[in-house]
Amino acid sequence: MRHAHTVGQVRAAEAELMARLPGGTLMQRAAAGLAATCARLLGRVYGSRVLVLAGSGDNGGDALYAAARLAGRGAAVSAILLAPEKAHAGGLAALRAAGGRLTSDLSAFERADLVLDGIVGIGARGGLRPEAQRFARAERRGVVVAVDVPSGVDPDSGEVAGVALRADVTVCFGTYKPGLLIDPGASYAGALQLVDIGLEPPRPAVTVLQHPDLAALLPVPSAESDKYRRGVVGVAAGSARYPGAALLAVAGALRGGAGAVRYVGTAAEEVVRRFPETLVTEGSPAGAGRVQAWVVGPGSGDGAARALQEALAGQVPVLVDADGLTELARLGPTALAGRTAPTVLTPHTGEAARLLAGLGAGDGTGEPAGTGAGQRDGGGSREPAEARLATARRLAEAYGATVLLKGSTTVIATPGGDVRVNPTGTSWLATAGSGDVLSGLAGSLLAAGLGPLDAASAAAYLHGLAGREAARGGAPVTALDVAAALPAAWRTVRSVH
């Protein structure tokens, strides 16, 4: 599990630690870890060409001290100072003493075996300044190692206002920063290396799961398991207008670890023809047999209102998606007020906007917020990352539900303030119906006994891996391909232990 902390949290933890340690200790720890990673990347330090890009703050200080260590081991180190009069004095003196030299020759960037990006770290304000921008655009041959954060990436949100330096490796100090885990920042960070500098930060702002976490979370049938003990997931999806959504949600649910899938709705015949292992009922959730979790809404069209009401009235977890979300936005958060079992909402950006608009609904003061049931567009994710984090948090708190906000980096937030971001996403998943597969999958994990945060984040993780697996070699994928690749995704996470 990777934990990330905001700049504010890092600064507070650093201040607390620095008060107990001799001055400069943290920077030396950071520089030692940074130099060790650079040495590993170079293989042979002696005779290698290293270029330092040093800004005016402590990020530049880290880079200069690390470069001094490399110079001490025989690397030919040169440094470009972006603001020479404000460069870190101690770091610069150390580099000079070790034989490093200053340069203003930009071609050094292109020639270096390794570039240390110490332009700016957690002190970044706004987009990269003009004098730094040319490095983001320059050609280079060697490895780029970002110090703490790739310069130009907002450490808290992952936003890139304009350009940023693309790193092969980012060496971060004390804890990961959210911007390294969230796109677009994540795509600039390369491989992440954490250097322990003794920081003890509080509860993380953002957490990211890794393969071993998934392997520990995913259900394994025991010797006593039968299909009912493994959980039955009810899927209320599909309509005359969108029968395919029923098939896709069921396809996801069948690969989610529940012991059985119970489909309820108008597409019963198609579902059982395609997936004969499914239990089917033509009615609505109230008339169906017992389930351990409901998935409501994919392609439900006009049937969404009744299905949602009946599913919410039960005391099992309910996952609401698509037309179910449009209906929930119309009703507002009061529709969930009496629930004792968890609710999971899986909006894309357009649905999230409807849910936000729905915050005034249902309390007698707001206008109904729905913008047309049955609408299956608006799945884009161009909203800034920072806004997406805030949106997920706000919806989770206001609706008292776990919210999985789909996008290039899917964000999962709980009403209690936990936030996870999914690291496995791929743009190949931006394909019609892939959200329906995700809903079925997450509902199935809920029925199998995972809590709402774990079910939603494990589903996003597996779904992303399955998307990558299906698109292997650069082929376009369909939602059914993603569902079919889910078993491979399970095997992948279980193979790493």
Known binding-site residues for K(+) equal 59, 117, 151
Which of residues 39, 124, 205, 311 is near ligand NAX by CB under 6 A? 124
Is residue 56 a contact residue for ligand NAX (CB under 6 A)?
Answer: yes
The count of other CB atoms within 10 Å of the CB of residue 20 is: 8
DSSP string for 131-179: HHHHHHHS---SEEEEESS-TTB-TTT--BSS--PPPSEEEEESSB-GG
Question: Which positions from 267 through 306 interact with ligand NAX, judged by CB under 6 A?
Answer: none
Annotated binding site for AMP: 406-410, 435
Tokens matching residue 417? 């303030």
The count of other CB atoms within 10 Å of the CB of residue 111 is: 14
Rounded CA gap, 88 and 102, in Å?
A: 13
Is residue 67 a contact residue for ligand NAX (CB under 6 A)?
Answer: no
Write each residue from 138 to 167 as x if it is in contact with K ion (CB under 5 A), else as -, in one continuous string. Answer: --------xx---x----------------
Report the nearest approach of ligand NAX to the CB of residue 61 (Å).
6
Q: Which stretch binds ligand NAX (CB under 6 A): 58-66, 96-104, 255-263, 341-349?
A: 58-66
Is residue 117 a contact residue for K ion (CB under 5 A)?
Answer: yes
What's the order of all strands across the beta sheet hosting 293-296?
2-4, 206-208, 419-421, 411-413, 402-405, 343-345, 318-320, 293-296, 232-236, 260-264, 279-281
Q: Of these partners, K ion, ligand NAX, none, which one is at the site of residue 62 (CB under 5 to 8 Å by kind)?
A: ligand NAX
Q: Which is nearer to K ion, 156 or 418 (CB)?
A: 156
Annotated binding site for (6S)-NADPHX: 58-62, 121-127, 148, 245, 299, 348, 436
Which of residues 109, 173, 242, 294 is near ligand NAX by CB under 6 A? 173
Q: For the chain, count helices (H), then strands (E).
A: 18, 18
* 8 A C-beta contact, residue 14 and residue 174: yes
* DSSP-derived pairing of the beta strands 143-147 and 169-173: parallel
Is residue 479 a contact residue for ligand NAX (CB under 6 A)?
Answer: no
Is residue 23 a contact residue for ligand NAX (CB under 6 A)?
Answer: no
Q: Residues 160-178, buried b or exposed e (16+ Cβ, 10 A)? A: beebbbbbbbbbbbbbbbb
* 8 A C-beta contact, residue 160 and residue 152: yes
Cis peptide before 202 (omega within 30 of 0): no
Total residues contacting ligand NAX by CB under 6 A comes to: 28
Q: Of these partners, K ion, ligand NAX, none, which one is at the site of residue 460 (CB under 5 to 8 Å by kind)?
A: none
Annotated binding site: 58-62, 117, 121-127, 148, 151, 245, 299, 348, 406-410, 435-436
Tokens matching residue 441? 């999958």
Which of residues 35, 45, 120, 429 is near ligand NAX by CB under 6 A? 120
Which residues bind to ligand NAX, rule: CB under 6 A?
Answer: 14, 18, 26-27, 30, 55-60, 62, 119-129, 132, 147-148, 173, 197
